Amino acid sequence: MAAIQAFDLYRFFHTRDSETLALRGVNLRIEAGEMIAMVGPSGSGKSTLLSCLAGLDEPDGGYVELSGERLTTLRPEAVRASRRAEGIGILMQPGNLFPTLSIADNVRLPMAMIGKPNAARIGALLHDVDLTDRQHARPGHLSGGEAARAGLAVALATSPRVLFADEPTGQVDAAAEERVLDLLGRQRAAGTAILIATHSQALAGRADRVIRLEDGRIVDV
């Protein structure tokens, strides 16, 4: 059974005078312990695909299964939210940090939501992303690269089976990127299925597989 699988996903956006076909029939299967890098030009549908896979957005056609259970159209919404909280770590482009909480409390929050606060794991994750010294800071006081690393720690807080990240190393320097890659590598070795939208060659080079989106479709690399 795949960790997560998308079946023929379509997503349309209607605005006043135009229609965008953001996804046009995407099929994707990610196994436990597999890391996939997703590349493609700006506007090709990468963030839209991540949102639909994570159950944050509803596709207009097709569906997503998380460990064989249909996530798309799963109701009530509270049940879908709890499957997401338990099974999926998400770092989207605008970030996932609550501005009024410290970095450590941001990492604690997803654990608290599923009733599994774990101080030792918070410390270990902050160490892994090299933010131990900044754990009491508010997100607004972090640099772009620090905020991205903090966001990754939040996404990994609950040891999710599936991790989605949108450009996690977009604003980090080479040394910080190496740390993030090491962390992702350990997560993959622990069996997490990982899909990352990225423009980074280093990250794509470490992936088991690279997929390319163009105009809402997966094309051959």
Ligand X SMILES: Nc1ncnc2c1ncn2[C@@H]1O[C@H](COP(=O)(O)OP(=O)(O)OP(=O)(O)O)[C@@H](O)[C@H]1O
Cα gap 172→157, rounded to integer Å? 20
Among 44, 47, 72, 200, binds Mg ion (CB under 5 A): 47
Position 72, amino acid:
T
- Cβ(163)–Cβ(156) below 8 Å: yes
At its nearest, how many Å lie between Mg ion and the CB of residue 92? 8
DSSP 134: G
Cα gap 106→36, rounded to integer Å? 26
Whose Cβ is closer to ligand X: residue 24's or residue 29's? 24
Kindly give, in sequence order, each residue whose CB lies less than 8 Å from that of residue 51, ignoring residues fewer than 6 positions away: 57, 92
At its nearest, how many Å lie between Mg ion and the CB of residue 149? 19
Give me the residues that bind ligand X (CB under 6 A), please: 13, 15, 20, 22, 40, 42-48, 93
Tell me the site size for Mg ion, rule CB under 5 A. Answer: 2
Pick from Mg ion, ligand X, none: which does 187 bind, CB < 5 to 8 A by kind?
A: none
Whose Cβ is closer to ligand X: residue 44's or residue 187's? 44
Pick from ligand X, Mg ion, none: which does 13 bind, CB < 5 to 8 A by kind?
A: ligand X
At its nearest, how many Å lie between ligand X and the CB of residue 4? 18
Pick from ligand X, Mg ion, none: which does 18 bind, CB < 5 to 8 A by kind?
A: none
Whose Cβ is closer to Mg ion: residue 47's or residue 135's? 47
Residue with tokens 């754990």: 135
Whose Cβ is closer to ligand X: residue 17's or residue 133's? 17
DSSP 132: G
Query: Which region, left, alpha or beta, applies to residue 154 given φ > 0 means left and ψ of -120 to 50 means alpha?
Result: alpha
- Cβ(53)–Cβ(213) below 8 Å: no
At its nearest, how many Å lie between ligand X and the CB of residue 195? 13
- Cβ(124)–Cβ(190) below 8 Å: no
Interacting residues toward Mg ion by CB under 5 A: 46-47
